[in-house]
Chains A and B, each alone.
Chain A
Amino acid sequence: MITFTLNGKKVVAENDATVLEVAREQGIDIPTLCHHDDLLPYGVCRVCVVEITRGKRKRVVASCTYQAEEGLVVDTHSERALNVRKGVAELLLARHPNVKIIKELAAKLGIAEPNPRFSVENDYCILCGMCVRACREIVGAHAINFAERGVTRRVSSPFSEAAGDCIACGTCVYICPTKIITMQDVADGGAVYPGGRESLGPRRIIHTWKVNAEMVPCRVCKRPFTTQAKIEFMQKRAQVPVPIEELTICPTCKG
């Protein structure tokens, strides 16, 4: 255990706790965009910055990646930290003026309108990377990643083609804070051609990753509920043999 000063108050914390974790336990409100309790700290949005003093040196750090240490002095709302937080919110508002969480964050920090000096864009992906990280860290499929760099950075399936390793589990859709990743289960995922219609049966489509995955019905209620790729992936990932019956029953029927 270590002891450090948080907004003037002495606090005790676990050795590897981050400043953000301790602050939230203490009821201090630090906004975050790229942080998720179930994912590894990433530290890219920079709205969670705080000012720390270590010895004589003062600096601004990301509270989600900075591990608290003995004798550290933290100010979560210092002027310097707030300037970064506001600056970042202002920049994000210019790029994502119609994203709800960005508008809310900006409003909370006192920014009502995008700065008129900034050219306004209308982008929905805030590049928090939660989809990429969840796919890598939680699912383990590594189906998507970042592509390009700098101002053109984006999340993408490999080479913007259909994501071959995607099991269409939908974790990315669920975790995306701006809900820009779209998924749809359809009764027939086949395509219509000028000459007729190709029938593929029940399919799960994730438009963002160009995925069109075969769905498997529940062996009890017969309703399509999961994908073939996911069943195979789970069998491969499990350390012990899993009976197929376990994987082909939907949560409702399983009870």
Chain B
Amino acid sequence: MEKLTSAAQLESLRKEINKKRDPHQPCITVCGGTGCQAYGCQKVVEGFKKEIEKQKLENKVTVRLTGCHGFCERGPLVVIHPKGTFYQQVKVEDIPEIVDKTILTGELIERLLFEDQATKQKMLTEEEIPFYKKQMRLIFGNNGRIDPCSIEDYIALGGYAALSKALFSMKPEAIISEVKKSGLRGRGGGGFPTGTKWESCRKAEGDPKYFICNADEGDPGAYMDRSLLEGNPHSVLEGMVIGALAVGSHDGYIYVRNEYPLAVKNAATAIEQAEQYGFLGKNILGSGLDFEIKINRGGGSFVCGESSALFASIEGRIGEPRDKYIHATDKGLWDKPTTLNNVETWANVPLIINKGADWYSKIGTEGSKGTKIFSLVGKINNTGLVEVPMGITFREIIYEIGGGILKDRKFKAVQTGGPSGGCLPEKFLDLPIDFDALTEAGSMMGSGGMIVMDDRTCMVDVARYFLAFLEEESCGKCTPCREGLKKMKAILEAICGGRGKQGDIELLERLSQVLIDGAICGLGNTAPNPVLTTIRYFRDEYEVHINQKKCPGGVCKALIKYSIDPEKCTGCGACLKVCTAEAVTGERKQPHVIDTKKCIKCGACYEACKFDAVVVS
């Protein structure tokens, strides 16, 4: 491939690619996101290829392994274009039937279609499914349509048009002012206005200037940056090149966790291809501008997602934060002006340049524009990655997109913002979600984790869990974080273990303040959030734990007891079968009994009982 050297060449290449592609030709797209990989999508895509070959349909049907479609709960996912037929939980055995029926005759296979639980209606396409219906997939949408390893797929859908526009018809200042006007804020957690950051970096003295994409996503249960870098790496690269052009940088890095092998591989492939086509490297599209991107693989330390620790890691030092009284835009990597943005932020940039700040700023709320990708997990029916406009409510996400709480249980809290986010109770269900509203409520946007909890959740235990995670991930450099988290965790463990004392809540609050004001970096400053929000909204649960030595959520093992209600027990034996401790005894069709001395309180009997006869007290 010859390097492209002008905007006109890019457009003619795009025409050429699209001319070769028949939009009416069937295209089987198989989701290749990490979730579907775990379900075995690789075998499914190979199966399709073999079947197509067997039936000699190679010239008539395309098979494509794409990026993540988001509905991970139902993987492996297969979407057949042009109609957009959506099949879920597809197995290798289903493949011949899909090719024979759906591809050749257009007939649908009922059992593979999604069924709406409420209406029992079968859904034909992604658009009809409630999980997708309420979403606004501006950033994520193309993931399901392109092969991440094919730059031509990206170009065919208008890829690198924004770069060409920025290079040849916009001045650097105009790019920055467009991004500023769009209202884009950093998606990595801080929510700092992106345009303002670029402007400071452009004005800063010092050369070279560095450009970094932060893909060190490490929150438990969050994987949106991973899916974006795996599924549509060129959109991230395009955003970076546009930004580099505006700020005047020639050296870029993608800092990505080594535990994301597919993201590392796809990003490396994308960089190689972009260099071949002239979108990266020397003399980009013949404009005379240079910009290179290197991949730096992180060793899996959570704190390395923090800017100064990330710089230290790239520099080859221990990944520890330092005081950031001088901004990274002035003194960042190797003490040079540096712009660091998150994967999702970069992916927003081409969209803003293509469609304009006016269009972009119409989406969202007053202070937060555009969409946000959330990783929706927990006690919810439809888990997966969802992209929604800012300002959507929790209720819409949880009950419409997420399909409500698992087993129709009662909603208790939603935790946003990763481990150092906060837990918000029911009264915030109708809160329009944006950066400022979440901060005001005591939580934060973070990178977009969203964990839904039901009434069988103990909020003290939740706080303990997140604090334990943070204690383990703390680098230990500053005293408040290292010693403070250790002591706070010990107190929470004591409360959960029935050893809580009067004054513990106040002590937790006091230590929290030491971390908020005293710790060096964001990890320590925000670590008390899960404790403070659970105290603020679920104080009574703490008090019951401490004063009455009881766990209302039925979770803390030291404070609960399992028993069987003889009235409700039918003697079916389901609990007996699952009990690994041999604590359940009873004759068939007779009420069973749990021996509390043998019971290890694993809860398996509770989950197994269909008659609600197992009681937690």
Contacts and interface: CB of A to CB of B under 8 A. Distances in A.
Interface of A: 43-47, 49, 59-62, 65-67, 80-81, 83-84, 87-88, 91-92, 94-95, 115, 117-119, 127, 145-146, 148-153
Interface of B: 301, 318, 322-323, 325-326, 471-480, 482-487, 490-491, 501, 503-504, 507, 510-511, 513-514, 517-520
Nearest to B519: A46
Contacts of A119: 490
Contacts, number: 106
A87 B513 contact: yes
A119 B494 CA distance: 11
B425 to A, nearest CB: 28
Nearest to A86: B514
A84 B480 contact: yes
28 contacts: A46-B478, A46-B479, A46-B518, A46-B520, A49-B517, A59-B517, A61-B323, A61-B325, A65-B323, A80-B517, A83-B517, A84-B514, A87-B480, A87-B510, A87-B518, A88-B518, A91-B479, A92-B479, A115-B507, A145-B318, A149-B301, A149-B474, A149-B475, A150-B476, A150-B482, A150-B485, A151-B482, A152-B476
Contact of B483 (A61, A62, A91, A117): A91
Nearest to A43: B323
Report the 10 A-B pairs with minimum CB-CB distance, sorted nearest first.
Answer: A87-B514, A153-B476, A91-B483, A84-B518, A60-B517, A65-B323, A150-B476, A150-B474, A46-B518, A43-B323
The DSSP consensus for interface residues of chain B is helix
A87 B481 CA distance: 11
B489 to A, nearest CB: 9
Nearest to A146: B318
A66 B491 CA distance: 33
Contacts of A145: 318
B513 A83 contact: yes
Given A46-B478, A91-B479, A91-B484, A66 B325 contact: yes
Contacts of A59: 517
Contacts of A49: 517-518
B520 A44 contact: yes
Contacts of B487: 91, 94, 118
B325 A91 contact: no
Contacts of A149: 301, 474-476
Contacts of B490: 118-119
Nearest to B326: A67
A46 B524 CA distance: 12
Nearest to A45: B479
A183 B105 CA distance: 86
Contact of A150 (B322, B326, B471, B510): B471
A127 B474 CA distance: 15
A22 B519 CA distance: 23
A47 B514 CA distance: 11
Given A44-B478, A150-B472, A150-B473, A87 B323 contact: no
Contacts of A94: 483, 487
Contacts of A66: 323, 325
Given A62-B520, A81-B517, A153-B477, 17 more contacts: A43-B323, A46-B520, A60-B517, A61-B323, A83-B514, A83-B517, A87-B484, A87-B510, A87-B511, A117-B503, A117-B504, A117-B507, A127-B482, A145-B318, A148-B476, A149-B476, A150-B474
Given A88-B479, A149-B475, A43 B520 contact: yes
Contacts of B326: 67
A146 B473 CA distance: 16
Contacts of B318: 145-146
Nearest to B490: A119
B520 to A, nearest CB: 7
A149 B320 CA distance: 10
Nearest to A47: B479
A49 B511 CA distance: 16
A83 B511 CA distance: 9
Contacts of A67: 325-326
A114 to B, nearest CB: 11
A182 B507 CA distance: 37
A80 B472 CA distance: 27
B483 A44 contact: no
Nearest to A126: B479
Nearest to A119: B490
Contacts of A84: 480, 513-514, 517-518
A151 B486 contact: yes
Given A87-B513, A87-B514, A65 B474 contact: no
Most buried by B among A60, A62, A80, A91: A91
B479 A44 contact: yes
